[in-house]
Amino acid sequence: MNWDQIKGKWTQMKGMAREQWGDLTDDDLERAAGDRDQLIGRIQERYGIAKEEAERQVDDWSKRNV
């Protein structure tokens, strides 16, 4: 699934993101609004991980939730 599709289905995808990253708040998910870079930044901030690790997690997640 590409990120244009994820943005279009973000309301449904938020639940899956919340399952994957339970420390993200509703506000974090609303601000990300399906934007890959925003989501990566929020994950980095909440989990204190490197950008590369956050990117890997987001890419893996998006592939699993096609």
Per residue in 19-62, pLDDT (tens digit) is 999 999 999 999 999 999 999 999 999 999 999 999 999 999 99
What per-residue confidence (pLDDT) applies to 1?
Answer: 60
Fold entry, domain 3-64:
Protein Yjbj; Chain: A; (1.10.1470)
DSSP letter (8 states) at residue 51: H
Tell me if 45 sits within 8 A of 56, measured CB to CB.
no
Residue 19: other Cβ atoms inside 10 A: 10
Q: What's the CA gap between 30 and 13, in Å, rounded? A: 11
Q: What's the CA gap between 59 and 18, in Å, rounded? A: 15
Q: What's the CA gap between 24 and 57, in Å, rounded? A: 14
